[in-house]
């Protein structure tokens, strides 16, 4: 108990000052740990705001870097003054007297008012410029120049309509590389937010509001898309994929989507199609190229990358989904319809057969 000090007012600094060294060492270690934890600043892997692959994301990245630069400067000034003061002006043991009481300093006060104003102006000018640029409305641009897509956020999946090509699909968003994609955003139920971190910033899909944004992909690839507004239990798993391909491949995809192969021919798939219709799946899931429905359009499900938006599109996962959607995605609005094992297998085969290309 003697170890526990009873602080008795000024003058106990002898014991307390042992901390000053400890404090400096701790600060240093903490800074080092934090710096190391920030290693690999771009987090190789997914394209993301720090690793942009689209024009809009690149411009936003530039703005991010500029603001980080300015802010690091501000922090450096503050930190240097702070750490210097903390070391230089700490009360020494036995020090008495009252330091000079300084009311203020007009010159200093003006400096630290004017310099921040200048720094903010440096940030404000490109910000306003980009804010207007990124709000550009391409609704009346011709289809050859701009690909227009109507995005609708649902709990917990994404619907994509290509009005110029009369295609309605879901979850996988095919776009041509290098071409501006202009998106019109709608919310079907609650507020969601359409976000492709590697290609552009996000825009909310608000029910009752039509919002707009544009983006492009500069390189071919598959980009992760996320929902970025809390929308219920399934929010975390409401992913989608952006598949950016060269223009010819994109045109081929469009053609395949609008002229899909004839209905299923494999026996297993034929049975699956019957189950699909008998069990009522067809009531919520359109399988025509341009059918809108309560649930995702499954026209090209066999080609899709995921099931449930995030799980790999394998027969295993599809089966899991069919048997109990809520287990795969908490909050999924698709009901768990009772199915026998054979029915599950038949549906799995049928869904896998829904391919528009190999």
Partner 1 sequence: MAAHTVKRYTGLMDWLTTVDHKKIAILYLSSGLLFFVFGGIEALLIRIQLMFPMFNLLDGQTYNEVLTMHGTTMIFLVAMPLVFSMMNAAVPLQIGARDVAFPFLNALGFWTFFFGGILLNLSWFFGGAPDAGWTMYAPLALREFSGTGNDYYLIGLQIAGIGSLLSGINFLATIINMRAPGMTFMRMPLFTWTTLITSMIILFALTPLAVGLIEMTFDRLFGANFYNPAGGGSPVLWEHIFWIFGHPEVYILVLPAFGIISEVVSTFSKKRLFGYGSMVFATSLIGLLSFMVWVHHMFTVGMGPIANALFGIATSLIAIPTGIKIFNWLFTMWGGQLTFNTASLYAFSFIPSFVMGGVTGVMLALPSADYQYHDTYFVVAHFHYVIVGGVVLGLFAGIYYWWPKMFGRMLNETLGQISFWFWTIGFHLTFLIQHFLGLWGMPRRVFTYLEGQGWDTPNFVSTIGAFFMAVSVILFVINILITWAKKPNAPADPWDGRTLEWSIPSPPPEYNFKQIPLIRGLDAFWKEKMAGNKEMTPAEPLGPIHMPSPSILPFIMSVGLFISGIGFIMSKYEFENSFLISIFHSYAIAILGLVITFGCMVIRSLKDDHGYHIEPEELEEKGVKA
Q: C-beta of 293: minimal distance to partner 1 in Å?
A: 20
Site for partner 1 in 167-206 (CB under 8 A): 185, 189-191, 193, 195, 197-198, 200-204, 206
Does 214 contact partner 1 by CB under 8 A?
Answer: no
The answer to whether 200 and 212 have CB atoms below 8 angstroms apart is: no
Are 245 and 176 in contact, with CB atoms under 8 Å apart?
yes
Cβ 228 to partner 1 shortest distance, Å: 4
CB of residue 270 vs partner 1: minimum separation in angstroms?
35
Per CB under 8 A, contacts with partner 1 among 113-142 are: 113, 116-117, 120, 123-124, 127-128, 130-135
Residue 12 in the binding site for partner 1 (CB under 8 A) = yes
Instruction: Looking at residues 260 to 299 of the shown chain, list those that interact with partner 1 (rule: CB under 8 A).
Output: none
Interface pick for partner 1 out of 55, 149, 154, 155 (rule CB under 8 A): 155
SS3 226: strand
Strands 146-154 and 240-245: unpaired
Nearer to partner 1 by C-beta: 79 or 163? 79
**356 scored as a contact of partner 1 (CB under 8 A):** no
Contacting partner 1 (CB under 8 A), which of 24, 28, 32, 33?
33
Closer Cβ to partner 1, 153 or 289, answer by number: 153
Nearest Cα residue to 251 out of 172, 182, 170, 167: 167
Residues 6 or more apart from 313 whose CB is under 8 A from it?
301, 304, 305, 306, 307
- DSSP 8-state secondary structure symbol assigned to residue 303: G
Rule CB under 8 A: say whether 81 interacts with partner 1. yes
Q: Is residue 287 classed as helix, strand or coil in its secondary structure?
A: coil
Q: Tell me whether residue 210 or residue 283 sits nearer to partner 1 (CB atom).
A: 210
**20-23 long-range contacts, CB within 8 A, separation 24+:** 20/87, 20/90
Contact between 30 and partner 1 by CB under 8 A: the answer reads yes
Q: Residue 74 or 255: which CB sits closer to partner 1?
A: 74
Contact 338, 347 (CB under 8 A): no
Residue selected from 24, 28, 32, 109 as contacting partner 1 according to rule CB under 8 A? 109
The Cα–Cα gap between 173 and 240 comes to 8
In angstroms, what is the minimal distance from the CB of 159 to partner 1?
17
Compute the least distance from the CB of residue 289 to partner 1, in Å: 29
Beta bridge partners of 146: 180
4-35: buried (b, 16+ CB within 10 Å) or exposed (e) per residue? eeeeeeeeebeeeeeeeeeeeeeeeeeeeeee
Interface residue with partner 1 among 2, 41, 144, 341 (CB under 8 A) is 41
Sheet of 221-227: strands edge to edge? 172-176, 240-245, 221-227, 192-195, 203-205
Count of Cβ atoms closer than 10 Å to residue 169 Cβ: 26
Q: How near is the Cβ of 139 to partner 1 at its closest, in Å?
A: 13
> Residue 54 interacts with partner 1 (CB under 8 A)?
no
Nearer to partner 1, 225 or 272 (CB): 225
**Single residue of 28, 32, 71, 251 touching partner 1 by CB under 8 A:** 71
For position 309 contacting partner 1 by CB under 8 A, the verdict is: no
Question: How many binding residues for partner 1 (CB under 8 A)?
Answer: 116
The residue within the footprint of partner 1, chosen from 14, 93, 94, 104 (CB under 8 A), is 104
């Amino acid at each position: 108990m003697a170890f526990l000090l009873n602080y008795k007012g000024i003058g106990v600094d002898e014991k307390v000052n042992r901390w000053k060294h400890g404090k400096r060492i701790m600060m240093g270690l903490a800074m080092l740990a934090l710096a190391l934890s920030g290693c690999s600043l771009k987090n190789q892997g997914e394209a993301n705001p720090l690793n942009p692959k689209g024009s809009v994301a690149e411009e936003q990245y530039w703005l991010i870097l500029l603001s980080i630069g300015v802010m690091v400067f501000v922090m450096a000034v503050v930190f240097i003054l702070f750490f210097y003061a903390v070391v230089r002006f700490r009360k020494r043991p036995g020090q008495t007297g009252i330091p000079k009481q300084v009311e203020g300093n007009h010159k200093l006060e003006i400096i630290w008012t004017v310099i921040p104003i200048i720094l903010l102006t440096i940030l404000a000018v490109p910000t306003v410029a980009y804010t207007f640029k990124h709000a550009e409305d391409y609704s009346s641009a011709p289809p050859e120049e701009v690909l227009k897509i109507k995005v609708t956020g649902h709990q917990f999946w994404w619907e994509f309509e290509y009005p110029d090509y009369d295609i309605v699909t879901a979850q996988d968003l095919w776009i041509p590389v290098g071409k501006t994609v202009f998106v019109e955003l709608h919310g079907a139920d609650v507020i969601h937010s359409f976000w492709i971190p590697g290609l552009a910033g996000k825009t909310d899909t608000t029910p009752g509001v039509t919002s707009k944004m544009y983006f492009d992909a500069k390189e071919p690839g598959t980009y992760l898309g996320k929902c970025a507004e809390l929308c219920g239990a399934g929010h975390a798993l409401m992913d989608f994929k952006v598949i950016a391909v060269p223009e010819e491949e994109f045109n081929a995809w469009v053609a395949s989507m609008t002229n899909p192969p004839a209905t299923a021919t494999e026996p297993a798939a034929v049975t699956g199609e019957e189950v699909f219709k008998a069990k009522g799946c067809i009531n919520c899931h359109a399988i025509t190229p341009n059918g809108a429905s309560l649930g995702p359009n499954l026209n090209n499900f066999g080609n899709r990358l995921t099931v449930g938006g995030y799980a790999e599109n394998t027969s295993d996962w599809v089966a899991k989904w069919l048997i109990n959607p809520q287990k795969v995605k908490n909050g999924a609005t698709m009901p768990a319809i009772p199915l026998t094992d054979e029915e599950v297998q038949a549906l799995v085969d049928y869904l896998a057969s829904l391919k528009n290309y190999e």
